[in-house]
Amino acid sequence: MARRVTLYSKDGEVGVVFYSLKRKGDKLIIDARALDAMRMTLVLTRGEAFGMLRMMLGRAVVSFVTGHILEAGRIAVIETGDDNRAMAATAKSVGFQHVSLDRVWWTYPETPDTSGTVNGKGKNDHGPR
């Protein structure tokens, strides 16, 4: 089954269906259908693509995704470089706390266990309390 993303209006009507995103040179090509009627090819420049990325990594989306992660009983983590002040500020605005790498008690893709063990290896000084 082909992957696609469908966005709906608040009334439940199909607004846009995205079928594919492809890079062609310095452009991003989007195959989409609008209002469940008109198929179109959208072309984004690099600047427009970065603007979309900033929008998708903004506070509303980070908060929304984080909420679903926490509701599922998982631990939400955002990892970013020290020089990415915008992402750090966004993360802080939705409740994330900065933790230096020397305080992280698990290694990806292992996931921490709320009992204080990480894949049976036992609790250390940096584990959940």
pTM across the whole model: 0.56
Asked whether the beta carbons of 54 and 44 are under 8 A apart, the reply is no
- Residue 20: predicted pLDDT: 92
Structure confidence by residue, pLDDT tens digits, 61-117? 889 989 998 898 888 888 887 788 888 888 888 888 887 777 776 666 666 565 544
Q: Show the beta-strand stretches assigned E in 25-90.
A: 27-34, 38-45
All structural domains of the chain with their residue ranges? 1-56
More confident residue, 18 or 115: 18
| Of 101, 96, 121, residue with least CA distance to 111 | 121
Q: Are 76 and 96 in contact (CB under 8 A)?
A: yes
> Considering only 6-15, 16-25, 48-57, 105-114, which range has the smallest mean pLDDT?
105-114
